[in-house]
Amino acid sequence: MFRKPPSNIKSYSPLRSSDRRRFKEEILKKFPLLNSSINNLIESSTDTTDSKSESPLNIIVPENTQLAKFTTNSDVHGVIYTTKEKHPLWFKKDKDKDEILVPSVYILWKFPDMLPKIPTFDMVISKLTGGANLMIPGIAFPSEGLPEVNEGELVSVVIRGSNMPLAVGSMNISTKLLKPGSTRKGIAVNIIHIFGDSLWSMGDQSNPPELSDAKTFQENVEIETSESKDVDISEEINEDIEVENLENEFESKLTVSEVDKLLEDSFYQALVEKLTPTTPLPMSTSQFYSAYILPCRPVGSENEVDVKKSSYKKVAKFLSAMEKKGIIKMKGDSILTHVDWKHESLLGFQPHKIIKKAASSTALNEEHPTIEIKEVFKPKGPVVDFLKAQGENVETVTVYEPEQIRSIVLNYLKSQDLSDKQNPKFVIPDEQIREILANKSGERVPDKWIRNDLVKAILSKMEDHHYVILPDHDPELRKGLPKNIQISESTRTGNKVVTTIRGLESYGINPNDLIEPLQKLCASSVSVNPTLQSSPKKPLMEVMVQGPQIKNVKKYLMDTKGFPEKYIETTNIKKKGKR
């Protein structure tokens, strides 16, 4: 948010005594953990420390506090609170007319425990200072687990092993859905403000206390900021790919050979119990690994058995080794095409107790099933010719994951040396790429592209498909984009509000199964009725809950049914729009 200095800062004005008192009350109300921090400071202070300026309440909102309106370079509006010397303390981020009060890192250093902490690896911090958000693979899961934080709530980001916050942001996903060893991708924390950014530069530019390598870290921040000064965030190398290897930072209790053995056993188990001769092939190897092999790891090994901790290091290399044994056949490194079901390794394999079975059979550690949705793309038109030219057997491959297309395109750009010699952050498409990008309207194809934008443009020329992976079911390939589950509020006779849920059938959820749990959760009456689009051949039902229950219903679908938040669409009558 503050990669560049805030613009249009209007004149500062002092905060009146009455406003200052109300602001303190607002802060203590919005940050309950701050109360305990203040009490600890008061208890630890000596009797000789009676200066009002040193009291904790005067630290959070000192006398002569100034405020001013500002606008960021990304057109975010807000209000900043500073000391008389323009040292930043707090700011309010105006989002959809809902003000979000955020502490500066200077305040966080005074009260490091005022926000829940999300730890990350030190190598990730330099990426965050360049404008990236904290991705899920970049979380350094502590042994005690993550604090319980809901989506949208503020957190601080710390380096693993340190208590000192270096950034503040909002959770993009509930921490209940984040677990060590998970293959889940995406943004974990939307970074709002970080040590080293322009807001920090407005202050005294001090380093975090008790951070031993603060000087070295600050030098890295300055180098990173200098190098990426004029670089668009969209040009950052895909952080999902970069931080995948960060999980290797976790200390493994198993030797490499032991991980190899358990990984191979998980592979055999997947073929013996999960993948069957009736399962449609071909299938992407990444899909086979995530949907079949990982769930078949032996119970208790889920945090240890990972291909990155094995001697193989990569899924492709591991499956190539299995191919040399004659158990499977592949096309290239990315497509599983055949399984030898009569191979001696499978016939003689003794199955073990797997993660999912253990979870369902152990009441104390029961985990709810997860519904996975993976968006993929089917090549068509010039994209088919392009992929064939890169050695892809397009007739065999039904669909591609976006990461696969990205890898193919980037390798092609590199092999053809299509980088702009004057500005390497751009690439200049050749005739083959231009043929893909051309459209029927005859609009001119731009001469220069950012790599990520080029990949997205090529994906847009392919057909949308998606996999739906329901618990205890084989992956199902569906055409088009995934359908959202819709939760909406509306008024009925007497100005009563009801909440309606539609689209459950698409994901194997029986609407009638929601009646009893939602009655208890919402303390309201619940009914199931046919929708207007329902027919005898294709019955479609909607669940109706009395009262404004969007929050409760959404939480139930995510936490109990394991449904991805991304595909839940909510409409709130109070705001008359989707959120």
Alpha carbons 530 and 36: distance in angstroms, whole number: 52
For residue 201, give Cα distances in angstroms to 205, 231, 276, 458: 5, 19, 59, 40
Q: 66 with 13: CB under 8 angstroms?
A: yes
Per-residue pLDDT tens digits for 564-575? 999 999 997 654
Is the confidence at residue 232, as pLDDT, over 50? no
Closest alpha carbon to 311 in 345, 269, 346, 261:
261
Of 209 and 373, more confident: 373
Q: Does domain 483-578 have CATH number 3.40.640.10?
A: no
Q: 534 with 524: CB under 8 angstroms?
A: no
Unique residue bearing structure tokens 């003000």: 99
Q: 236 with 133: CB under 8 angstroms?
A: no
pLDDT score of 567? 95
**Number of residues written out for the chain:** 579
Closest alpha carbon to 428 in 411, 406, 451:
451
pLDDT score of 29? 86
pLDDT score of 403? 83
Per-residue pLDDT tens digits for 90-135? 888 765 455 788 999 999 998 888 999 999 987 788 778 777 889 9
**Please, what is the end-to-end C-alpha distance for the chain in angstroms?**
21
pLDDT score of 434? 92
Maximum distance among all Cα pairs of the chain, rounded to whole angstroms:
83
- The pair of structure tokens assigned to 293 is 């092999």
Query: Could you say which DSSP state residue 400 is in?
Result: B
415 bridge partner residues: none
Of 525 and 52, more confident: 525
79 bridge partner residues: 69, 92
pLDDT band at 314 (very low <50, low <70, confident <90, very high): confident
Of 416 and 304, more confident: 416
Lowest pLDDT segment from 147-161, 230-244, 513-527 = 230-244
Is the confidence at residue 469, as pLDDT, over 80? yes
Mean pLDDT of the chain: 80
Of 194 and 492, more confident: 194
For the chain, helix, strand, coil in percent to 5 are 35, 20, 40
Lowest pLDDT segment from 12-26, 32-46, 91-105, 497-511 = 32-46
Arithmetic mean of pLDDT, 525-529: 94
pLDDT score of 312? 92
Order across the sheet with 77-82: list the strands. Answer: 13-14, 66-71, 77-82, 88-95, 98-103
Domain boundaries, the chain: 13-244, 256-365, 375-465, 483-578
132 bridge partner residues: none
Compute the radius of gyration of the chain from its Cα atoms.
27
Tell me the DSSP string of 276-314.
-TTS-S-EEHHHHIIIIIGGGSBTT-TTT--GGGSSS-S
Q: Do domains 13-244 and 483-578 have the same CATH topology?
A: no
Is the confidence at residue 457, as pLDDT, over 70? yes
Tell me the DSSP string of 491-522.
EEGGGEEEEEEE--GGGT--GGGGHHHHHHHH
Lowest pLDDT segment from 15-19, 300-304, 484-488 = 300-304
Pairing of strands 568-572, 154-159: unpaired
Closest alpha carbon to 172 in 144, 152, 191:
152
pTM over 0.85: no
Q: How far is CA 138 from the centre of its chain?
A: 10
Q: Which amino acid is at 424?
A: P
Is the confidence at residue 553, as pLDDT, over 50? yes
The three-class DSSP label of residue 139 is strand
Arithmetic mean of pLDDT, 409-423: 92
Lowest pLDDT segment from 227-241, 263-277, 370-384, 524-538 = 227-241
pLDDT band at 396 (very low <50, low <70, confident <90, very high): low
Is the confidence at residue 25, as pLDDT, over 80? yes
Arithmetic mean of pLDDT, 430-441: 88
pLDDT score of 4? 64
Alpha carbons 368 and 360: distance in angstroms, whole number: 8
Q: 497 with 317: CB under 8 angstroms?
A: no
Arithmetic mean of pLDDT, 488-507: 89
- Taking residue 84's Cβ as centre, other Cβ atoms within 10 Å add up to 12
Q: What percent of the chain has a predicted confidence (pLDDT) above 70? A: 80
> Which one of 40-44, 246-250, 311-315, 541-545 scores highest in mean pLDDT?
541-545
Q: Which amino acid is at 568?
A: I
Is the confidence at residue 480, as pLDDT, over 60? yes
For residue 188, give Cα distances in angstroms to 23, 111, 117, 157, 548: 30, 23, 12, 11, 28
Of 283 and 504, more confident: 504
Q: 156 with 116: CB under 8 angstroms?
A: yes
The three-class DSSP label of residue 385 is helix
- The pair of structure tokens assigned to 564 is 């991805």
Q: 101 with 154: CB under 8 angstroms?
A: no
Alpha carbons 141 and 143: distance in angstroms, whole number: 7
Arithmetic mean of pLDDT, 17-29: 87
Per-residue pLDDT tens digits for 68-95? 888 776 667 788 899 888 889 988 876 5
State the sign of the Cα–Cα–Cα–Cα dihedral 440, 441, 446, 451. negative
Arithmetic mean of pLDDT, 14-19: 86
134 bridge partner residues: 189
Per-residue pLDDT tens digits for 27-68? 888 888 887 667 666 555 544 444 444 566 778 888 888 888
Question: 13-244 maps to which CATH number?
Answer: 3.10.400.20
Burial class of residue 209, CB neighbours in 10 A (0-12, 13-18, 19+): exposed
- The pair of structure tokens assigned to 5 is 């200095």
Look up the CATH architecture of domain 375-465.
Orthogonal Bundle (1.10)
Unique residue bearing structure tokens 């090529």: 458
- Taking residue 176's Cβ as centre, other Cβ atoms within 10 Å add up to 14
- The pair of structure tokens assigned to 129 is 């200072």
pLDDT score of 444? 84
Is the confidence at residue 11, as pLDDT, over 80? no
